[in-house]
Amino acid sequence: MGAVYTRTSHGQALRRVDPAHEQDLLETYYHPYAQAMTALVDQRLAATGRAVIIDVHSYPARRLPCELHPTRRRPAGCLGVDEHHTPRWLLDAATAALAPAGDVAVNEPFAGTYVPLPHHEAGDTRVASLMVELRRAPRRSGRLGPTRCRPVRPRPSPPWSTRPPTGPGEPRIGPPGCVGPPRDPRAVPSSRRPRRRR
């Protein structure tokens, strides 16, 4: 699929093939991200002597047309590993953590994990990485996708967060996207309900 998508996950045209535009997208988004990740890993190596990358994704219960391996299993949890950058202790810890959710597979249906290219090419084993893929459960209606989440009050970002702070009064969705059960939009707090006349 590459770094710049030209088709959707169902094979429909997303954008026309334009090498100049593709290069612009790479320079604007892909390369700055890769450089920032490399710099961040270098900072952790300088500060602690090692860095651990957890590469988190999710995937639908039903296979998408764009997937290359249609016969692979779709377990509740998929752990993508690299033979040089995924130590056994990290794989074992993730397997145990995901076990209550159901079956867990390694490199199935998706394989590999993110390691900045300079550290991967150098074979720097101080950099550990693991991809965690979680299978999204179908909704009751049978449609797949994220559920509606309840907004929470803004709170200060932790010192290690790179996310810009939210503006005044702007709701923030806490990680991993939901902080509680979806709120019924019809629900009105009792203090705001109109009083009945007697």
Q: Where are the domains of the chain?
A: 7-137
Beta-strand ranges (E) seen in the chain are 51-60, 77-80, 104-106, 127-136
Distances (CA, A) of 176 to 57, 129, 132: 11, 19, 13
SS (HEC) of 85-115: CCCHHHHHHHHHHHHHHCCEEECCCCCCCCC
**pTM to 2 decimal places:** 0.67
Pair of tokens at residue 25: 């997208």
Report cis status (omega within 30 of 0) of the bond before 146: no
Instruction: Round to whole Å and give the CA distance between 35 and 41.
Output: 10
Determine the 3-state secondary structure of 76 from DSSP: coil
Instruction: Round to whole Å and give the CA distance between 85 and 123.
Output: 8
Q: What are phi and psi of 68, to 5 degrees?
A: -85, -20
Instruction: Round to whole Å and give the CA distance between 175 and 86.
Output: 25
pLDDT digits (tens, 9 = 90+) for 76-108: 999 999 999 999 999 999 999 999 999 999 999
pLDDT digits (tens, 9 = 90+) for 23-66: 999 999 999 999 999 999 999 999 999 999 999 999 999 888 88
**Looking at the predicted structure, is the pLDDT value of residue 182 above 70?**
no
Confidence of residue 187 (pLDDT cuts 50, 70, 90): very low
Residues 6+ apart with CB under 8 A from 137: 61
- Taking alpha carbons only, the member of 12, 139, 132, 4 closest to residue 64 is 12
CATH superfamily of 7-137: Zn-dependent exopeptidases (3.40.630.40)
**What pLDDT does residue 196 have?**
53
- Single-letter code of the amino acid located at 109: P
Pair of tokens at residue 146: 């994220």
H or E element that contains 173: none
- Taking alpha carbons only, the member of 90, 182, 171, 170 closest to residue 128 is 90
